[in-house]
Each structure stands twice: as C-alpha cells, then as structure tokens.
Amino acid sequence: MEMKVIDHATCTFCGCVCDDIQLHADETRIHQAKKACVLGKAWFLNHTAERKYPDALIDGKEATVDEAIEAASEYLYQADMPLVYGMSNTTCEAQRQCVALADNLGALLDSHTSL
Amino acid sequence: MVLVDIRETKSVKAADIFLQVRPGKDFELITILRAMIKDQPISETQIAETGLTMEQLQDFVSRMKAARFGVMFFGMGLSMTRGKHMNSAALLTLAAEMNAFTKFVAMPMRGHGNVTGADVIMRSQTGYPFGISFNRGYPRYNPGEFSTVDVLVRGDTDCAFIIGADPGATMPQPAIDHLARIPTIVLDPHVTHTSRLSRVHITTAPAGISAPGTAYRMDEIPLPLHPALESPYPSDEEVVRRINETLMKKPDWMGERPQILQTQI
Amino acid sequence: MLRITGGTVYDPANGINGEVRDLNVEDGKFVSSVTSGRTIDATGLVIFPGGVDVHTHVAGGSINFARAMTPEDHRRTQAFIRSQTRRSGLGGMAPTTFATGYLYAGMGFTTVNEAAVPVLSARHTHEEMADIPILDKSCLVLMANNEIMLDLLEAGEYERAKHIVAWHIWAAKAYGVKAVNPGGVAAWKWGKDANHLSDPIEGYKNTTPGSIVTSLAKIVDELGIPHPIHLHCNNLGVPGNISTTLETMKHLEGHRAHLAHLQYHAYGGDDWHTMRSEAAQLAEYFNAHPNMTTDAGAVLFGDTVTITADGPWQHLLYKLTGRKWGNLDVENETGCGIVPYSYRPSNLVNAVQWATGLELLLLIDDPWRVFLSTDHPNGACFWRYPEIVQLLMCADFRKECMAGLAPEVMNRITLPEINREYTLYEIATIMSAGPARALGLGQKGNLGVGKDADIVIYHQDKDIARMFGHPRYVIKRGEIVIEEGDIRETPDGNEYLVKPSFDPGTDEFLRPLFEDRYCMSFENYPVEIERIERPEFQQCITSE
Amino acid sequence: MNKIKLTLKKPPTVVLEAEVITPDHLVERSNEEIRASVVYHGKRQRRLDDFFDIEGERSDCVEIHGDLHRVRHVGRGMTRGDLTVRGDVGMHLGAHMSGGTIEVFGNAGDWVGGEMKQGRIHVHGDVGQQLGAAYRGSPIGMQGGTILIDGNAGIEVGMRMRRGTIVVGGTARDFAGLQMKGGTIILCGGAEIRTGAWMQRGTIVSLKEISLMPTFAYSGAYNPTFLNVYARHLGTLGIDLPCAEAEGSYKRFCGDRAVPGKGEILIWEPAVS
C-alpha cells in the first residue's frame, strides 16, 4: 500500500512541540512517527481518521453537526454567565475563535494555566 | 545541569548535581537562595528544614553566579503543590534577581499541547493570560475569582463551553458536579468524561493529526502543523467559527453601555 | 463616495500649505471629482493626511510580555467595550491588539511600522498585526546579529550575504531590515568607547559594528528595499554615546539610512552624573548629511513600560532607578527584559532625555527627515503624541514644562535657547508625509489624486494637545472610522510586504547551517504567505 | 434615624455584581432611583429591585438582609456612611474603600478590603483569601484603615499592604503578610505556614506560636512600647492584646532576608506562672 510521508510534522502532545517528526501514513492511520519520543509516537499512532464516534451528541443522542451547533449556540446565548474553558489541545486558530466567542458572549474565559 | 526534585527521578541520570528537597519546601528553598545570592546570613539549621546542607547551597549559588547564561526550567511539581502560583513566582523572582550577576531566565515546562498558544492569544487580545471575565463588556482579570475550578466549585456559571480539555476527568468532584448540573458543551476528538455529562458534544478533528493550524512551543515560538490524515470530522476552528456566526445573527444581548469606559470596575 | 468641502488642507507631499481645497474619494482613493455620496462640510476645519508611525512596537513577543506584566495598568486604563461589530480591548502602557487600532485611529494615525521582528517568532507578530483593526501595517526583520550573515561578512562573501538578507526579509514576510545594536549584543561595553565601531566583535577577527552597518546599508540599497536600513545604533542610552552615533553616521555615508529613536543616542558626559544632551552637535552633522532620516524617540514624563531583549539596557534602568530586579511583578512570566518605568522631571537623567528628544525635533531643520515617535512604549506610549505636538508648536508651553525641571538640568540642555515653533504644515510633515516617504509608501501621507484616502479632520483649537488628541473625523481608505471620538467602523488594514529577489539556491545554502544552529525545522522557519491575511506588495526600487 | 434597608428577595443564580450598594451611591438617590440602579447578574444588566426589596432613600446608613454570598463589590470604593450586612456576603467587600464602616454579621468572601485606603471593616464570621490584599500585579495592597475579623481568614492576608491594621481573631492560612511593606497584622489564633514571606517592612504579631520562614532571624524578646498604644486602641474595638511584662513577652524575628527586608514578626510568649 502506498504510504504518504510527511516531513517536519509538528507534534502537539506536550509543550516541546517538536517539529521534525516524519510521519508515514495511509488513508486512515499513521503507521510510523520517526524521531518522535515515546509520548509523541503514542500520540500520533493512537489517532485515526476512522469514524469512531458519532458526529455529535445532544443529550446523549446522536445528532448532526448542524443541530449540535444550533443547540450549543442557543445554550450559550441564553446563559447569564457562560464559561469558555480549555483550549489546550487545539490550534491557535481555534483559540482565536474561542477568545472571540467569549468576548462576544460576555463570558468567562480561562485555560488550563489557571488549574 | 542541576536537578531539584523531591525524589530521584529518571532525569537524575542526566543531571550533574541532584538536590533532593523535602516535599513542600520548594518555596522555602528558593527563598533561601534569594537571600544567599545577596550574601544575607542564613544559618545551617535554617537550611536544614529543606533537606539540604549549607555546603550544597553555597556550591549551587556559586555555580549559578558563575554561569554565563542560566536557565531555570520548572514544572507542575512546583506550580501545583501547596503555595501554587507563589512557588512559580519565587522561581521567577530568583531568576530575575540573578540578572544582577549574569544572564538568567526561567521557563515553565508546560504540558497540555498548545496551552502556551492560548496564553499568548489571550494576552494579545485581552491583555491577560487567563482567568478573564468579559461580563462587563471588556476583559477583567482575577485568578481565584474568574478561574475555572473556583467558578465551578462556587457555581458561578450557568453554561460551560469546553474545548481541548477534559475537566470531567481532572477536576475536583464539586466542579464536575456543577458541570453536570448546567448545560455543558464539549468539542473534542473523543467522547470524553466531560462529553458524557454534557448536553452537547461535537466530535472534532485532532489538532496536528488531521486539523491544520499553528501551535506554540513553550518558549512562545509558533510552529505550523502538518496534518497527515483527513478527518471525517470538522476542525475545532470551523465549529467555533460557525457557533460565532450563529450567535452573531441573534439580537445583541448587551444593554446600553458607553463605547469607552474611563474608570473600570 | 465621499466629498469633503471647504477644509483648510495641509498636504506637504503636494506642497499644499493651509489652502482651502475640496477632497473627493471613491473606492478608498482620492479622485478628482465624485457624482454622489456623503458630503462632509469641513469649513473651518483643518485637514491632514492620516498619520504614519515609522517606529513603534505594537505586535509580537516583547510587547505581549509587557501586556502580561502589567495587569495593574490594564485595570486603571480606559476600556473599550465590545459591540456586535467590534471587539473589546484595553488601552494603557501596552494596549491590546484591538485597542491599539482604536487608539492610533483615535488620534488620526492610519499606518504603523512595527520596528522589530525576529524571524523565529514572525508568525506571532503577523498574527497580532492581523488583529489590529483599521491600521495598515508593515514590519522590519531583525538582521544585524544574525550569525550566518556575520560569518559571511567575516569571510568577505558580500554577495551571498545580500541573498541571505533578501531571503530573511521574505521568510519573515517583512517590509524591510532593522539592525539593533549591530554585532554588539555580546560586545557591549560600559560607558564611552570611542573605538567601539571599529573594534572587531567577539568571536570575529575582521567584522566590526561599523562594517556591519556599512554592509547592511549597502545591501538594503542594492536590493532596492523601499525603506532604507532601519538602524538602532550601538550604545543606546549611555552617557557619551554621541561619539558612537556620529561614527555610525560616518559609516553610513553614501547610503540611505533611517536612524531609529535618535534621542537615546545623543548624550554627552562620562557617566550618569555628568550626562548632558548633545542633540545640537548631532543635529548639526545630521543637517549636513541628507542621506539620513530619523525619528525622535522622544520621552514624556510619566509611566510606561520599557521593553527590550538585551541585558545592557536592563542594566541602564537598574542604574537609573536603583530598582532591584526583585521588584519586578511576581505575576510576570519571564522575569526580565521588561521593566515598568516612570520618567520623572525631578530625575536628572530623565529630564535630559526629555529635553534631548525635543531638541532633536527642533534643531533638525528639515521636517522631511525627522519624525514623531516615542519608540512606543519605551519613551512614552504612542497615544501621547498629541502632547509632543503641543510641545513643538508652543514655545511658551515648553518653557512652562521646563520650569518643573531640576535647575541643574539647565546647563546640560539647549532647549531653553530654542524658540522655534512648528507650523501645522511642519507637523503634517513629521507626522505623516515624511514618515510615509521614508517608508517608501507613496500612497500614504499624501492627499493627491490616486493616493489612499486616509484623512484626519481636526477642529481648530488653541489647546493643541486636545486638537490632535480628538480629531473631528478620521477616514481610512475612504471610510469614516472615527467621528467625534466615537469609533464608527473598524475595517481591517493591509500589511505591506516586499519580495526582493534572491538566488534560488539560498535555501540549499542555508539549510545545513540552519539545521546546525536552530531548534526548529528549516522548512517550518519561513512564514507562509497564506498566513498574511491582507498582503499588499510594494515594488523594490530598480536602479537606473 | 433615616436608614435604607435592602432585603434579598430573589437569590441570584450566578454572580451578582452590585457596586451600587454603597452609601455614596444610595445617599443621593430617591427610593425609585435606588430601585432602578443597575446591577449585573452575570453579564445581564438588571435593576437592583429585581433582587432586593428596598425601603428608605437618601441615607448613608444602609442595612442589607439575606444570604449575599453571590453578591460582589458591596461597599466598593465607599467614602462615608455605615453599611451593615446581616448574612453572608460575597467577594470584594469594601475593596478600594476610603471611609465609612462596614459590619458583617456572617461570613465574607475573598478580597475583603482589597486595596482599601481608609475606613473600618468588621466581619463577625470567617473571610476568604486575600484579606486587605493587593489585586494581581498591583504593587500595593491595603494602604490604611482597620479590618477586624472575628473568625478565620484564608491565604495571603494583607498581601503587599503598606499601612493600616488587620486583626484576625481566628487562624490565618498560608502567606499571611506576604510581601508586606508596612502596617500591622495581628493574628490572635496564629497562622499556618509561610507567615511574613518576602516582607519588606511592617509588623506581624501572633498570639500563638507559628512556624516561620527559614529566612527570618531571631533578635531577642521584648515588650515593645508601641504595643501599649496599640493595645489601648484595639481595646476600644473589643480586642485584647497582651502587652504587660508580667504576662509575658514577645519573641522578635526579623526578615525576610530574601528581599532583604526589615519586617518584624512578634510572637507572644506568656510568662511561666
């Protein structure tokens, strides 16, 4: 099977953010993460492109992303004091959206740092 | 390399000197060092409570002063034990004070992937690194008041949006209980502990595996991500952006307020 | 479409000095006439081109550290409340990204140049610049202490060094080259050091700060970068550094150059007790050498936060304040490099600095060559520029301020003997037309047809600081962004880029050197062009 | 006497920020204006009378009834008058105040008297963290006035305080007097660890034995005369500070040498009878 090779991939498992990882991947999973440490290997090899989980859940029942976004927005909109929390295992681009979300909502905003 | 820890860890092998400090005495040890670099008298008995000796610390201080460029790395063993932020503050102050003698910096060894990125972005957009409230229409900062564990334990919030974290697995039980009580929304590549107590869960593509973007290294160097896989799920960025767009279509929640506030609350 | 009628126009780029003219705007640019749209009756009002800041620090790692270190300042400063179309922000010594845009626009500035970007964290700088609303932006990449380039200069490989500079400008997605304390980070010496510029720097045999200055100036000229070498001279802030500065200027002969925050480089004396202003001597040399431009780096009394990466300046502050590093805020994340600071009239050194900045602005004859700046936030915060304008326009006000200085300052400065008062035309030059020209931004600081319609409309006001601090209208690319102190629109600004040509083999030359020395992958080092949200390319100057 | 009485009728479900509950604000307003005063229930602007029954008007004597543990900023920045809370009250009670008195018959939250300049606060129950402290990043905490706590106090009592007096009847937790620059802290029930850490100046008096930082040095036992003056003053506030030589003496410790500071910690040692 044809393997896709990605040089200089970046590992986001820990704060070191190594950016010299070589990944060998097929369509659904990463088979090799060269130069990665034990933690990094586990990080890359444990994620797949499979559809392991439902797209979304509302009250524990499967839902579409559109429905879930609508429901999430409504909860956030109705709240008197919403909280936006986390932002560790995600990209800066998503974090910027989160800060915008908190600003627009008048929410509390906090990251892992405060723990 | 000097390693300070409460027990002999694997890193000891890599260290030239290992100083075994008594548990819970980090703050005392660093405070003693602050005094010693300034040649303040400290007695052998006073040092003894840290589990170290005068000789060890004198040697340590002279090594620090002789260094051309010193770096202090510190981890959660320091910042998450009794004293918390004051332990980190102690080390940062020591590093700052060492600059009277030579170049020294201190750097937190951050875990949790891109927590540095969150810190950087919050600082640039709001002026504060974490523990922020926008409820008055502009950012206010007060760790302890606006930090999540405190907020949840006190029950100060009535809706939680959780992304890239699993507080349902890591936070104290009263905080988790409150998350279960209020509408909680989770974005995560997995169905997590928090997802299970949430009202809404949305599965997203994992950052750096199948979602592109940027992550900050702990020394605040931003690095591009090169995803190897194509996810069947949308990225966090896309989902949050769509939530923002949906909210923007609803009537503004904010009542009459001035554009600029000269005196803050 | 927009028409502005009856205003008294000051447009130095077109030699218009206080004439009543109509302005017409269409699609963000000036046109000769428009057929419809809003008309602003500017009768009795004063019209300037939008302000241009040639040297400021508003985005990137260091200002962001300063933000983290000053929560107490964020709390006491003004807050910008969010709206459905506008993000919230905080002003103060180190304003947040959004507030930076609001505050600059609020005093009529529409273009800023971020003066220091390391390639390594350039992504961060661009990320913040993209956030700053309303303003058009550019940034300069730090080059003068780049080891690979220094090695090439040492080896006499000038041509290769030129390609390396061009490569780095493009890698950082910068607009020009900034040289900070060339070669001097390791070679810093205390006090007066007349031979400084010709001393080989540590670890090198031939390369001196002087040779770096000359080579970089030549490289930037030959690459045709629109903005000349942007130089932060050696020995910043040190008594007696006038000799270093003059020598640096001699090394620049035959080349274009912009000398940043000259105030910090114009001191006589041997130590802090004998420190005096040598602005007059510096201005005399400068006046006779038209190859250079400069910005004042003026100091205003009051609180600010000083930011820098190097030890030397920290020590200066340590000496000046007698503060211990331990007095740094415990909430800070780094512990050094950033020092909250108060300039006080009662402090001899501060008083000399205050006078020196103003003297330079007043003694340099040609307003096209000296520009308004405070090296924000180092000398003062940018939003205090209107106070400087008042000091320049009113000799009486200057005298009033001087009365508050310690008497022993008077024989160390020449300010009391200077009676010059700036005209509105000259203010428009140092605040807009001049810096735009020095940056090579022909479409800025110019109210001529075809140029970007960045306009400030002021009330006539005897209180100069109020006049310049509270414009009646600010218009950015034809859009009213500020009206009577209210923020109307917050359009996104563009980022200016240049793409100097370089040998395509530069990558292969750099890669092994890079992999040897750097802690990140070579491939991940350059900023991808896709990351620049609204790039606007400026052409390099082609030599005839 | 003319008095304004607020009674909580609807407990807030999230935090209620009510900096309008100060004598300064209420004294100038009619009953109707007081009712219409803006408070923030989380992010929502609400009227004060959405949450409180309000009797009286135009008085700087204010009494509040109910469980106000979620109500924050009560008495913030007040300069005059008397404010009494019969029940618990939330964070920032009397923060930045520069005059008047506050009395709480119940517990209070964090930052009681944060950065206060003048005035008096008396809490009969316990208080949270950062009593009389500086807010994050501020160089100076409490600058004057008196805070009396009958119960226990959380961490960082009097952090960076410069002047004024804090008396804790019960026990204080860690870091009492952290980075203190002046003023006096009296700990009747002692404190947990790291008392006086990094202090520059000022006095901490403990009536119970406490564990000290290793960077404090013993400098003798004595009965300082200024404590007599203090004891007399505190006596009028109902606090008994021992100072007679017959009863015992104070062990004096100086520090914190890490700064290096000139603060003192006095630990009461009763005479052996």
The pTM assigned to this predicted structure is 0.94
Tokens in use for C113? 């140049």
Total CB pairs under 8 A between chain A and D: 16
Determine contact: D137 vs chain C, CB below 8 A. Answer: yes
Instruction: Name the residue with tokens 């009662």.
Output: C346
Dihedral over alpha carbons C168, C171, C177, C182 (to 10 degrees)? -50
Domain co-membership, B123 together with B209: yes
Q: CA of D40 to nearest chain A CA: how many angstroms apart?
A: 10
* Position with higher pLDDT, C272 vs D111: D111
Considering only CB atoms, which chain D residues are within 8 Å of B42? 214-215, 257
Considering only CB atoms, which chain B residues are within 8 Å of C124? 120, 216, 220-222
Closest of D95, D82, D84, D123 to residue D19, by C-alpha = D95
CA distance linking residue C325 with residue C313, whole number of Å = 13
CA distance linking residue D72 with residue A54, whole number of Å = 42
Please answer yes or no on whether B247 and A83 come within 8 Å at the CB atom: no
**pLDDT band, very low/low/confident/very high, at C358 (cuts 50, 70, 90):** very high
CA distance linking residue D47 with residue C16, whole number of Å = 56
Q: Which of C209-218, C233-242, C417-426 has the lowest mean pLDDT?
A: C233-242
CA distance linking residue C244 with residue C278, whole number of Å = 12
Q: CA of C481 to nearest chain B CA: how many angstroms apart?
A: 14
Residues of D with CB under 8 A from a CB of B: 13-15, 17, 19, 40, 42-45, 70, 73, 76, 91, 110-111, 129-130, 135-136, 174-175, 178, 193-194, 197-198, 213-215, 217, 256-260
Over pLDDT 70: what percentage of chain C?
92
**pLDDT band, very low/low/confident/very high, at C333 (cuts 50, 70, 90):** very low
CA distance linking residue B94 with residue B17, whole number of Å = 19
CA distance linking residue D224 with residue D249, whole number of Å = 9
Q: B157-178 pLDDT, tens per residue? A: 999 999 999 999 989 999 999 9
Determine contact: A54 vs chain C, CB below 8 A. Answer: no
Please answer yes or no on whether A107 and D41 come within 8 Å at the CB atom: no
Asked: is C47-497 a CATH 3.20.20 domain? The reply is yes
Determine contact: D140 vs chain C, CB below 8 A. Answer: no
pLDDT given at position B111 = 67
3-state class percentages of chain C: helix first, strand second, coil last, to nearest 5: 40, 20, 40
Q: If you write DSSP's letter for every residue of D245-262 in order, what string do you get? A: TTTEEEEEEEE-TTTT--
Q: CA of C75 to nearest chain D CA: how many angstroms apart?
A: 10
Domain co-membership, B157 together with B44: no
Closest of B6, D175, A109 to residue C330, by C-alpha = D175
Calculate the average pLDDT of chain B.
Answer: 92
Please answer yes or no on whether C127 and A92 come within 8 Å at the CB atom: yes
Mean pLDDT for D50-72 is: 97
A residues 35-94 lying closer than 8 A (beta carbon) to D:
79-81
The domain that contains B91 carries what CATH number?
3.40.228.10
Closest partner residue to C124 (CB to CB) among B99, B222, B254 is: B222
pLDDT given at position C310 = 52
Is the pLDDT reported for residue D19 higher than 50? yes
Mean pLDDT for D67-90 is: 97
Q: Choosing among C83, C123, C507, C520, which should be mutated to test the A contact, i.e. which has the most A CBs within 10 A?
A: C520
Domain co-membership, B56 together with B152: no
Q: Which residues contact B43 (CB under 8 A, 6 or more apart)?
A: none
**pLDDT band, very low/low/confident/very high, at C148 (cuts 50, 70, 90):** confident
Q: CA of A110 to nearest chain B CA: how many angstroms apart?
A: 5
Q: Which of B31-35, B210-214, D208-212, D238-242 has the lowest mean pLDDT?
A: D238-242
**pLDDT band, very low/low/confident/very high, at B76 (cuts 50, 70, 90):** confident
Sheet holding A30-34, edge to edge: A4-9, A21-25, A30-34
Nearest-5° Cα angle at D89, D85 to D90: 150
Is the pLDDT reported for residue C320 higher than 80? no
Over pLDDT 70: what percentage of chain D?
99
Query: How many C-beta atoms surround the C-beta of residue D163 within 10 A?
Result: 17
Please answer yes or no on whether C524 and A19 come within 8 Å at the CB atom: yes
Q: C36-50 pLDDT, tens per residue? A: 999 999 999 999 999
Q: D157-175 pLDDT, tens per residue? A: 999 999 999 999 999 999 9
Q: CA of A79 to nearest chain D CA: how many angstroms apart?
A: 9
C-alpha dist (Å) from residue C62 to A108, B147, C128:
26, 25, 12
Helix runs in chain D, H state only:
23-26, 31-36, 226-236
Q: If you write DSSP's letter for every residue of C237-282 in order, what string do you get? A: T-TTTHHHHHHHHHHTTTS-EEE--GGGG-EESSSTTT-EE-HHHH
Domain boundary residue, one of B86, B108, B130 = B108
Q: Which of A40-49, C227-236, D22-31, D223-232 has the lowest mean pLDDT?
A: D223-232
Calculate the average pLDDT of chain D.
Answer: 95
**pLDDT band, very low/low/confident/very high, at C193 (cuts 50, 70, 90):** very low
Instruction: Indicate the helix (H) or strand (E) that contains C30.
Output: strand C29-31
Domain co-membership, B89 together with B192: no
Query: Is residue D258 within 8 Å of B40, Cβ to Cβ?
Result: yes
Considering only CB atoms, which chain D residues are within 8 Å of A106? 42-43
Cis preceding linkage at C71, omega within 30? no
**pLDDT band, very low/low/confident/very high, at C312 (cuts 50, 70, 90):** low
Considering only CB atoms, which chain C residues are within 8 Å of D137? 69-73, 75, 329, 331
Domain co-membership, B85 together with B185: no
CA distance linking residue B201 with residue D176, whole number of Å = 44
Is the pLDDT reported for residue C261 higher than 70? yes
Considering only CB atoms, which chain C residues are within 8 Å of A92? 127
Domain coverage including residue B186: 115-249
Is the pLDDT reported for residue D1 higher than 90? no
pLDDT given at position B96 = 81
**Residue B188 lies inside a defined structural domain of this protein:** yes
Query: Is residue C139 within 8 Å of C113, Cβ to Cβ?
Result: yes
DSSP 3-state of A50: coil
CA distance linking residue C501 with residue C541, whole number of Å = 12
**pLDDT band, very low/low/confident/very high, at C205 (cuts 50, 70, 90):** confident
Query: Is residue B185 within 8 Å of B160, Cβ to Cβ?
Result: yes
Mean pLDDT for A21-35 is: 93
Mean pLDDT for A50-66 is: 96
Q: CA of A74 to nearest chain C CA: how many angstroms apart?
A: 17
Determine contact: A51 vs chain B, CB below 8 A. Answer: yes
Q: CA of A51 to nearest chain C CA: how many angstroms apart?
A: 30
Using CB atoms, list chains with 3+ pairs below 8 Å to chain D: A, B, C
**Residue B265 lies inside a defined structural domain of this protein:** no
Domain count, chain B: 2
Domain co-membership, B243 together with B130: yes
Domain co-membership, B122 together with B234: yes
pLDDT given at position C323 = 43
Is the pLDDT reported for residue B226 higher than 90? yes
Is the pLDDT reported for residue C101 higher than 90? yes
Determine contact: D273 vs chain A, CB below 8 A. Answer: no
**pLDDT band, very low/low/confident/very high, at C518 (cuts 50, 70, 90):** confident
Closest of C231, C261, C264 to residue C375, by C-alpha = C261
Query: How many C-beta atoms surround the C-beta of residue C450 within 10 A?
Result: 11
Domain co-membership, B64 together with B123: no
Query: Is residue A101 within 8 Å of B244, Cβ to Cβ?
Result: yes
**Residue B263 lies inside a defined structural domain of this protein:** no
C-alpha dist (Å) from residue D140 to C327, D199, D255:
12, 12, 19
pLDDT given at position C381 = 96
CA distance linking residue C83 with residue C51, whole number of Å = 26
Over pLDDT 90: what percentage of chain C?
77
Closest of C278, C244, C239, C272 to residue C413, by C-alpha = C278
Considering only CB atoms, which chain B residues are within 8 Å of A38? none
**pLDDT band, very low/low/confident/very high, at C531 (cuts 50, 70, 90):** very high
pLDDT given at position C318 = 52
The domain that contains B179 carries what CATH number?
3.40.50.740
Calculate the average pLDDT of chain C.
Answer: 90
